[in-house]
Chains A and B, each alone.
Chain A
């Protein structure tokens, strides 16, 4: 029998997962009022989560890969499971690349990317090899640290008089429709739709009831923190600067200056992204290794280290430069990967499972 995550572990894991890289990059600046996008994404996200929960409920705590085979049959189910395994590896590699980009452009300019990737991949593989419970325990620690660093950053920005709420104006200059449209185009798929990966953990989540309660609570917390983070970034940098800033929170942290004594607090931001990406990548790696175990029959612990190295290789080859990396993530990945894997396949699987269940009952 698989060990189960406690409520706190699951909450911390989901919270760090949702904050992950989004807290640094901020919500994509598709409209001037980017801090409202996360709030507007709540309703569509709840609908999306409803599909995942219904899937989990219908499948009686079976994991994503077992559900796919139960719904689509042995051959198609395994094909989709392979697709999900690759999909999780791809997202993990994108997250790792996000972190490498930040470290290379802002902190360790002369360090070869290979060294950063190799060091990081080792940590991620070690975290994932510990299993789901070890990841849960690690998440509690990291959630505490991320929140602490974020609160410190906010206090320092406040005391250095960098926050000016007038910079948030004009409010809703492009209307509410543009905000709602932007939430549907980006936020719902990244980061919120990515919680689909938790379905791969099956019975370790502690049942559909716990998942519903804790999932909702962590979603609301993450939305509140991300909206506040975006509001903070806009009130420090202003709408125009926000539009052209790649690492908005990092640029905001650089403005901290208290009596010419407390300055250069970039390290706090680096800690936030490094810790967030460790948990996020380890979760994706674990889910992918579980998929590989399901498909190829070998123990997932045998896959985890080699797949971690594969994530490192993919993160280097995923795009040639940061501009390509961002455009790929905001346009192509959404239409070609996120919508099919986060909405179309789960919805179709749910319908098929319901049909099969009704057919059996009849």
Chain B
């Protein structure tokens, strides 16, 4: 469920940014959506890299909860004892 949760929160957060763009520049919502996804005015495309990383990370967390993911995790990183903060 972490992947779905992250996806929902990301979609809503980006919708909020588009809404503010519409309000600040007094333009239609669709123009703001287009600018959000296509314009590269200020920073480069690093935002999308971070967003995709967030989604992949949450997918990995979900996968790790399943038996197949646990086996894969054990093969990749070895079996480890639960860390102290996870026990807390």
Contacts and interface: CB of A to CB of B under 8 A. Distances in A.
B19 to A, nearest CB: 8
B4 to A, nearest CB: 6
B24 to A, nearest CB: 6
Contact of A303 (B5, B36, B42): B5
B50 A118 contact: yes
A314 interface: yes
B31 interface: no
Interface range on chain B (Cβ under 8 Å from partner) = 35 or more
A166 interface: no
B12 A302 contact: no
Contacts, number: 127
Nearest to A296: B5
Contact of A332 (B13, B23, B41): B23
A169 interface: no
Interface range on chain A (Cβ under 8 Å from partner) = 35 or more
> What does DSSP make chain A's interface, helix, strand, loop or mixed?
helix
Contact of A310 (B13, B19, B23, B62): B13
Nearest to B12: A86
B51 interface: yes
A288 B14 CA distance: 15
B27 interface: no
Interface in A102-155: 112-114, 117-118, 121, 129-131, 133-134
Interface in B41-88: 41-44, 46-51, 53-55, 57-58, 61-62, 65, 85-86, 88
Contacts of B51: 309-310, 313
A306 B3 CA distance: 9
B2 A82 contact: no
Contacts of A328: 20, 24
A321 interface: yes
Contacts of B50: 114, 117-118, 121, 309-310, 312-313, 316
A223 interface: no
Contact of B24 (A93, A129, A297, A324): A324
B8 to A, nearest CB: 7
Given A86-B13, A131-B88, A312-B50, A320 B1 contact: no
Interface string B7-24: 011101110110110011
A31 B24 CA distance: 23
Nearest to B37: A317
A301 B62 CA distance: 12
A336 interface: yes
A241 interface: no
A298 interface: yes
Interface of A: 3, 82, 85-86, 89-90, 93, 112-114, 117-118, 121, 129-131, 133-134, 288, 292, 295-298, 301-303, 305-310, 312-314, 316-321, 324, 327-328, 332-333, 336
Interface of B: 1-2, 4-6, 8-10, 12-14, 16-17, 19-20, 23-24, 36, 39, 41-44, 46-51, 53-55, 57-58, 61-62, 65, 85-86, 88
